[in-house]
Structure 1
Amino acid sequence: MVRHRAQRRHVRQRRRHVRRLDHLPEEEAEAVSTLHPTVEQAQALLELERYDQAGALLGRRLAEDPGDIRAWVSIGYCHLNTERVEQAKEAAAEALKLDPEDYGALRLSAQAMVRDNGWLHVQPVLRELIRVAPQDPFAYAMLADAVWRAALVQYAKESGARQLSTQDVDRLSGEAAELAMEALRLGPENVYVHEIAHRIASMAGNGTVANQLDEAILRIDPTHAEALARQTKRAAEAPGVGAGQAADLYADALAADPGSPVMRQQLDHATYRLLRGTRWLAVICVVAAGAMVNLFPSAEEPAPELPIPVGQRLWVLVVMAAIWAFGAVRRYRRLRAGVQLNARSLIRRGRWARVVVAQAAWAMLCALLIAEIPWTERSVPQLIFWAGLAPTAATIWFDRKKTG
């Protein structure tokens, strides 16, 4: 369900991006300001994502006046937002017949082409868009993306390479990077421009620039899902960051973007690392119990007489309680409430999380049996020692990469 909500949100964001009319050149802004009332009403419906109603209004308007270029562009966005790409391209073509240099028609045509996987053929339209609106950051960013993709495809065809290295991508990204920099200069507050620049920089292996672009994206839009996920993952995987700190970072990111499946998965992974830590505490308790009884005596360390005195057995119990109090309980209480809830949820949802908790409980049971029963011989506690230690040791490395 969370994944479906995230997908729906992504589609809504993409649709809002498709129909945005901000950053228009002056002549286009003037045209929008003189819209026919029917077209103006249809565009209001577009903003509300009521595409069928907007399309019906625009259809009637075009029946009255087939020469209304703004109506053609608007109905084209109705088609584009409802995945009717061919109809969107036809609407753009009709608008361009009326005015080959109309900004809105050119932009609609470019967006419809790339939605139809036409990245390799869209450059002429985008270059015309830049000629018509030389101060438009969107056109530069989209052209940078198109140039970059075309360069990679052409190199792959000519070289026969199935996979390009970061050095190859960096070498092929020269013109695209320059276009992206121009787009950033023209639109320093435009998220789409930063997204394209980030994609080019990250694929070219320029991590420093990509990180700076992520920070800029989050400054403009603190809830940007992809940038938030990348920045949080980078901080959580930094050297010296423990599982508890990582879980807190992912919980903070989820607070900003509750529907992010990536952040949810990473929070589960960090929580699972916390649960795996409890198994080490149980192993330490088993070893401590075995050391008290001295299950494997040697000439240097002779075995104490059995049974072990009550006071010594109780002291080992105090040591075990201290290990859990400082190693798990205190740490758990210092976690955010969201991480605590996720830990309980993960135990219910995750098979490996339940395995880890069960192994820790089993090892602790074996430790208590060894330490608290007044054994008169060592063969049985030796068997319990290996029964508590062996299953945990057998899986403690195997399940390291499991997410819970």
Structure 2
Amino acid sequence: MTTAVHPAVERADLLIDLKRYDEARDLLARRLAEDPEDVRAWVKLARSHLCDEKDGAKALEATERALALDPEDIGALVMHAHALREARRFPETEGVLREVIRLAPDYWYGYALLANWLWRVKSFRAGQANGGEIPREAYLAALRESGDLAREAIRLGPEEVYAYEVAWSIADLAGDRNAADQLDEAILRLDPQHEEALERWTKRTAAAPGVKAAEAATLYADALASAPDSAPMRRGLDEASYRLLRGVRWLALLCLALAAVGVDLFATQGETRRELPLPLGQRLWDLVPMAVIWALGALLRYRRLRAGIRVNLRSLVRRRAWPRIVLGQAAWAMLCALLITQIPWTDRTVPHVLFWAGLVPAAATMWFDRKKTG
């Protein structure tokens, strides 16, 4: 029985990593023809079947050959557990992994894998015993036992991301949000580019109370720098960008309100309205607060945004209908505000109509279009 790893087996393992499975199996077949007692070759052959064909039967055959040669080989036992799962003999994996832990009590992966699978195995058995219904007490007990195993895996492998991933999934299933959030932070300390943890952390931080649209957009842009192919992060950036565009509409409506005040559209009891038409100087002065609102509220904020967010804003307007609608409403409200203030009206009837014409389209969709990024 061969104990050292033969160079051919090492090359086959690299070929599997490169997804060149047929070449790996050919190489392993030649190696096993030379030495049919090479345990490592049987284990890698099983791995090639699991990675390529998801063929549990062939993988199971290979791991059984390996275990017949060495029943206490840890790698063979772990691969055997994977093969059993793929062969739909999932409940049998518990005994195999407990044997791994017995033989290698300091091996973190055995604990992590059993933690990840045990609650499923026990839930399946509880369901079988109760006519397909899983009692909640049995489910929670299985999660607690799995959680204990995951914590032991983390203790033994404090730098292993998979152990934290398993612990996170168990905390999430148990509804322990604080523990899940702490585990996300631990995962990101070990792997700052971990896509799933980064997505969860960014989404949670961006949705926290008091986080403004520009801050949320910056969080998503930072996350995309680490995980550029993340679809959830792109959706999050689109949503934050859309919130920025909705803010532009509020600026236009504020200008519309100032225009209404400028021509005294709405009478206040006890006050005398200004005479119309307003002098040219007054009409030009009414433009000053509007210019300040747009300079500070839009232009300055836009220039302070990261380049990627500015690009996404323009892209969002091209790609999606509702951002164009919102900008159209803002432009229409602003046009009404300018018409109200800059034309020397002699009567307030038309300005009154313009005010409501600018306000109603935006007000009609303001609450409805909050989530309309598409």
Question: Which letter does structure 2 place at the counterpart of 1:200?
Answer: I
2:83 is the alignment partner of 1:112? yes
SS at match of 1:122: helix
Please report the RMSD computed on the Cα atoms of aligned residues, expressed in angstroms. 2.4
2:26 matched residue in structure 1: 56
After superposition, the Cα gap between the structure-2 partners of 1:169 and 1:268, relative to the gap in structure 1 and judged at 3 Å, is farther
1:126 matched residue in structure 2: 97
After superposition, the Cα gap between the structure-2 partners of 1:346 and 1:156, relative to the gap in structure 1 and judged at 3 Å, is farther
Question: Which letter does structure 2 place at the counterpart of 1:100?
Answer: P
2:4 is the alignment partner of 1:34? yes
After superposition, the Cα gap between the structure-2 partners of 1:254 and 1:116, relative to the gap in structure 1 and judged at 3 Å, is farther
After superposition, the Cα gap between the structure-2 partners of 1:217 and 1:115, relative to the gap in structure 1 and judged at 3 Å, is farther
Cα drift, residue 168 of structure 1: 8.5
More deviation in 118-127 or 154-163?
154-163
**Paired residues of 1:55 and 1:75 also in contact (CA < 8 A):** yes
2:43 is the alignment partner of 1:94? no
Deviations 1:30-85 (A, max 9, x none): x9982223212212323333222212211222233332221111111112211332
After superposition, the Cα gap between the structure-2 partners of 1:260 and 1:53, relative to the gap in structure 1 and judged at 3 Å, is same
2:149 is the alignment partner of 1:179? yes
Question: Which letter does structure 2 place at the counterpart of 1:355?
Answer: I
Question: Which letter does structure 2 place at the counterpart of 1:94?
Answer: R
After superposition, the Cα gap between the structure-2 partners of 1:32 and 1:268, relative to the gap in structure 1 and judged at 3 Å, is farther
2:41 matched residue in structure 1: 71
CA distance in 1, matches of 2:2, 2:259: 80
Cα drift, residue 111 of structure 1: 2.0
1:23 matched residue in structure 2: none
TM-score by length of 1: 0.85
SS at match of 1:398: coil
Question: Which letter does structure 1 place at the counterpart of 2:191?
Answer: D
CA distance in 2, matches of 1:401, 1:162: 37
Deviations 1:229-257 (A, max 9, x none): 11112221222211101111111111111
Cα drift, residue 325 of structure 1: 0.9
Matches within 5 A, 1:257-336: 257-336=227-306
After superposition, the Cα gap between the structure-2 partners of 1:115 and 1:345, relative to the gap in structure 1 and judged at 3 Å, is farther
Cα drift, residue 201 of structure 1: 1.3
Cα drift, residue 184 of structure 1: 0.9
**Paired residues of 2:140 and 2:174 also in contact (CA < 8 A):** yes
Cα drift, residue 310 of structure 1: 1.3
Deviations 1:259-318 (A, max 9, x none): 111111111111111111111111111111111112232443343221121111111111
1:356 matched residue in structure 2: 326
SS at match of 1:173: helix
After superposition, the Cα gap between the structure-2 partners of 1:376 and 1:246, relative to the gap in structure 1 and judged at 3 Å, is same
**Paired residues of 2:248 and 2:298 also in contact (CA < 8 A):** yes
Unaligned runs of 5+ in 1: 1-30
Cα drift, residue 154 of structure 1: 5.1
1:200 matched residue in structure 2: 170
1:12 matched residue in structure 2: none
SS at match of 1:142: helix
After superposition, the Cα gap between the structure-2 partners of 1:365 and 1:118, relative to the gap in structure 1 and judged at 3 Å, is farther
Cα drift, residue 172 of structure 1: 4.5
CA distance in 2, matches of 1:71, 1:160: 43
Matches within 5 A, 1:369-384: 369-384=339-354
CA distance in 1, matches of 2:113, 2:364: 53
CA distance in 2, matches of 1:120, 1:328: 60
CA distance in 2, matches of 1:318, 1:184: 62
Deviations 1:190-247 (A, max 9, x none): 1110000111112212222222211211111111011111111222122221110111
SS at match of 2:277: coil
SS at match of 2:336: helix
**Paired residues of 2:126 and 2:135 also in contact (CA < 8 A):** no
CA distance in 2, matches of 1:371, 1:317: 8
SS at match of 1:79: helix
**Paired residues of 1:73 and 1:91 also in contact (CA < 8 A):** yes
Deviations 1:11-37 (A, max 9, x none): xxxxxxxxxxxxxxxxxxxx9982223
Question: Which letter does structure 2 place at the counterpart of 1:114?
Answer: R
Unaligned runs of 5+ in 2: none
More deviation in 204-213 or 280-289?
204-213
TM-score by length of 2: 0.92
2:118 matched residue in structure 1: 147
CA distance in 2, matches of 1:45, 1:211: 37
2:107 is the alignment partner of 1:136? yes
Matches within 5 A, 1:228-239: 228-239=198-209
Question: Which letter does structure 1 place at the counterpart of 2:189?
Answer: R
Cα drift, residue 120 of structure 1: 3.6
Matches within 5 A, 1:80-91: 80-86=50-56, 87-91=58-62
